[in-house]
Each structure stands twice: as C-alpha cells, then as structure tokens.
Structure 1
C-alpha cells in the first residue's frame, strides 16, 4: 500500500466525496493509503508541500494562481468542489423571496476571512457579474467566522456571507434571520482543487494522482447516487456538531445543484474564476488553463 498524504485547508461538507472515498475504501482499492491533516493556520499546507511531508494540498485554486511566477509554481491535477458552498443570510423571515443582490447596495455585509480569501473574492466577483460595484457596499471581513456569526446574530450588519451549512444551522435556530441566497446555484467554479509543487511531479507521482482521481471519482458517483437521507447516520458521524437534518438538507442541495460533477477542472469555470481573480488584482491577467492545470490524471481515470 502506497502512502499518499493530503494536507487540507479545512474540513468542509463540500469535500464530502473525499470523506466517502476514505470511509468506503475506494482509495485503498487503488493501492493508496491516503492520510489527511489540517494545519493551523491553513496556509501551513504550503509548508507541507515544500518540506515534502505532504503529497498534495487541497484548497482554493486562487492560491496556485496568485503564487504563479511570483513565489512558487503549483500544478492542479483534480477538482472536488464544482460550485461555491456559501450562502447569504439576511435579517427577517423568507429571505430568499424577491431577494436581489442590488438590495445589498449601501448596506453592511459581514464575511468571514480566517480560512482564506475565497469568500470575499467570490462574493465581489458575483456583484461585478451582476453589474454592481463592490465599493457601494460596506464590509466587515477581518474576523473569524464564529465571531462574525455571533456578532451578526447580535445585531451587527445587514447581511452575513458564510458557508451554507453554518448559514442553514443559524437560520434553523434563529427565526430572526433567513437564507437570502444559496451560492451553489450561482454557476460553475473550481472552488476546491488538489495541487502540488510542479517541479516535484514525477511519472510515479502522476500515476498515484491518477489512481487518486479514480477513487475520488467513485466517491463523487456514490454521493450523487444516494439521497442524503439514506446515509444520514454516516453524515451525523462526519459532522457531529451540526444537526443532522441540516447536514442532510445541505447535502441534497449540493447534489441537486452541481457541487460535485467529476474530478476534472472545467475549462469555462476556470476561465470565469480567473477573470474574478484578475479583477481582484490577485493575478495581473487571467491565466491560461494549461498554465496551472494538468487534466491528465483526471482524464485518464475515466
């Protein structure tokens, strides 16, 4: 059995197919002994790649993009999350009815940033895509998610952007707030990907990546083939700190709305995100797909 160590930026519901692949032995069937750690702070994933203690990192593609030609070259070889897993909370009931992003102009939006820049990057990109200037909204985003959640429930701000699981849990326990938008419905984007330092990739590593993609693809297929209600006990074990009804609901929403599709990074979604990163000044110009994505391991597993 070949050790294959993953360092991840977090533990999230949008990584569910990976957890299923681990629990159901799909990686072991491919001869891979996959282990996982989550460093604190999250950018320790880059240290683990640099010192060779990790074979791959899982996180946002914005990191390999902004590091390119500045600090380090990374190659992305697979995707797990094909959609943004965030939600917008607002004050009052029935938040989704009649809500438009333009309603947020002139208001204050809380956005967590402790786990990286993805939340603000995606939200402001979405505003620009809808013809709205992000500068017309005030932001509080330099605090962690737990603190911002408590402050929002206590009365700070008008809207709160956080992960969908946390948002639905908050709305379930607090009738004074509601879900205004599920961002999983807002189009394809390579939200979470697997990558490695380009210079360290060998034919043997690439073969292990291919086998990893085979197992991960089986995990994706398994989740898509099973209504979340049918494996609620497993979800309860994976996410014990959230009411299982909430986890089941979000999982099925993700299943319906294209969160998980395949291990390949879609080209159009990549181009969309690159434009967002360029507009945010993380890259000077949108990167070409082949610059940082090697779709070979994912394509070979089909």
Structure 2
C-alpha cells in the first residue's frame, strides 16, 4: 500500500463520493492507504502541501487561480463537486421569488471557510444583470453566528450551505429556501491540487489511482437513491436531520453535482470569468495553464477498459 494523504478545507456533503470511496475500500483496491485531515484554519492545506505532508489539497479552485505566478503555482488535476452547494434563505415564503429581489436588500453570507460564498453569489448577480453593489453584505462572521443573527432579525437574506439552509427552514417556519444554487449551472466548485514543482511520474501514477477510486465512488452514489444508504449519511453528518441529508443527496444526484472527476472546460471558463469579476485575477487563466487532466483521463480510460 502507498500512502495518499489528502488535506481538505472542510467536511462537506458535496465531498460525499470521496467519503463513500473511503468507506467502501475503493482506495485500497487501487493500492492506496488513503488518509484525510482538515486543518484549522482552512488555509493550513497550503502549509501541508508546502511541507510535503499531503499528496493533495481539496478545496476551491479560486486559490490556485489567484496564487498562479504570484506566490506558488499549483496544478489542479480533478474535481469532485461540479456545482455550487449553497442556498439562499429568505424570510417568509419563497413563492414568486426572483433573484432581482435581492437588489437593495441586506444579504448575510457565511465566512470562515474561504471566499467561495461571496465569489459565487456576486458572480450570479452579475450574470443576471444585477449590480452586486446594489446589495449590502454582512460576510465577515462565522456561519453559525450569522445563522443565529439572521433568525433573530438581522438582514433580509442569508447565503449558506444547502444542508444548513434546509435544516434551518425545516426547524423555523418563519424562513424558507428561496434558491438552491446547485441548479445554477456548472462550476468546478471543489477540486484537487498540489504544488506544480513537486509533480513526478510517481505522483501522477498515485493521482491516477486515487481518481479511479473516486470515479467509482461517484458512480456508486449516482446509481443509488440516497434513501438506500441513509444510515451512512447519518454517520457522516450526525448533526443534520437524516431526512434532510437524504433529500439533499438526491437533489445533488439529480442536478449534476457529481458527474466525473474530469473538469469540464465550460464550467472552468465560467468560474474564471467570475474570478476576474471579483478582481482576484486580471485575466482568466486558460484551462491548460491550471489543469493537468492526464491522470483523470488515464483513470477514466482504465475504468472504461474494465467495463
């Protein structure tokens, strides 16, 4: 067995196929002793890569994008989440809600896990011809704190992860989920990357085997209604009502959250334009500048040959 250590920015339901691959021995089938950690604060993943204690980081592609040719170059080699896992909560019922309704409102957006929440929401506004500057934001506080403040009367809307949003709406009849952003098109939301300078043939081979197991995990989830593995969901997300976890998983299954470890060019290009709009980079990076798809293509070919 070869060790493959992954350092991740959090424990999220959009990482579910990876957790399934671990629980069902798919990594071991590829000769990998896969281990996982979540540093605090989240940007410790970069320290883990720099110190060589991790084979890969898992997090937002906006980090490798903004670091490129400025601090450290990272190579992205796959994705796990193909859509945004956030949701927008509002006060009262959500019938007839339109995204344009947020203009002139105050929107709370959780922080603590990076900048992705604000980056995506403001990109979505621009894509829908809504000036992000027409909205007031409160976004430099912890998600739990903001959730409590929102329910206590602060602001008009709250952007948070879909599990938290559905749990809040399930428990609080005074709020509702206005939009689930998994329905809002492809972006490589959660990706795997490491320092470009550290990539060797051995690294590429380990990445290929890791991705073969991940692809099997994705297929496993897509082929099963979440009700059939609700006990696993309960163990993975013990603080969430199990039916909420089941329903969110099925929503993700049916809305292209998980497709393939291969990053689609269309989603990549869209997210790059969003990062330009956020001023993280001056110009969008080309696909080949940031991504090496050789390991994932090799993994998918091997999977196809075995079918």
TM-score for both structures, normalised by structure 1: 0.99
Partner-residue secondary structure (3-state), 2:76: strand
Report the alpha carbon displacement of residue 268 of structure 1 after superposing the two structures with TM. 0.6
Q: Counterpart of 1:148?
A: 146
Q: Counterpart of 1:72?
A: 72
Q: Counterpart of 1:3?
A: 3
Report the alpha carbon displacement of residue 294 of structure 1 after superposing the two structures with TM. 0.4
Which of 158, 161, 169 is equivalent to 2:159? Answer: 161
Post-superposition CA distance 1:155-185 (Å, at most 9, x none): 1000000000000000000000000001000
Point out where structure 1 has 5 or more consecutive residues left out of the alignment: none
Query: Pairwise mapping of residues 249-268 of structure 1 onto structure 2 (< 5 A)?
Result: 249-268=247-266
RMSD: 0.4
Query: Pairwise mapping of residues 1-302 of structure 1 onto structure 2 (< 5 A)?
Result: 1-93=1-93, 95=94, 97-302=95-300
Report the alpha carbon displacement of residue 134 of structure 1 after superposing the two structures with TM. 0.1
Whole-angstrom distance in 2 between the partners of 1:179 and 1:256: 18
Report the alpha carbon displacement of residue 99 of structure 1 after superposing the two structures with TM. 1.2
Report the alpha carbon displacement of residue 98 of structure 1 after superposing the two structures with TM. 1.4
Post-superposition CA distance 1:7-65 (Å, at most 9, x none): 00000000000000000000000000010000000000000000001110000000000
Whole-angstrom distance in 1 between the partners of 2:205 and 2:280: 32
Post-superposition CA distance 1:199-257 (Å, at most 9, x none): 00000000000000100000000000000000000100100111000000100000000
| Runs (4+) off by over 6 Å | none
Post-superposition CA distance 1:121-165 (Å, at most 9, x none): 000000000001000000000001000000001110000000000
TM-score for both structures, normalised by structure 2: 0.97
Point out where structure 2 has 5 or more consecutive residues left out of the alignment: 301-307
Whole-angstrom distance in 2 between the partners of 1:115 and 1:286: 23
Post-superposition CA distance 1:74-120 (Å, at most 9, x none): 00001000000000000002x1x211110000000000111000000
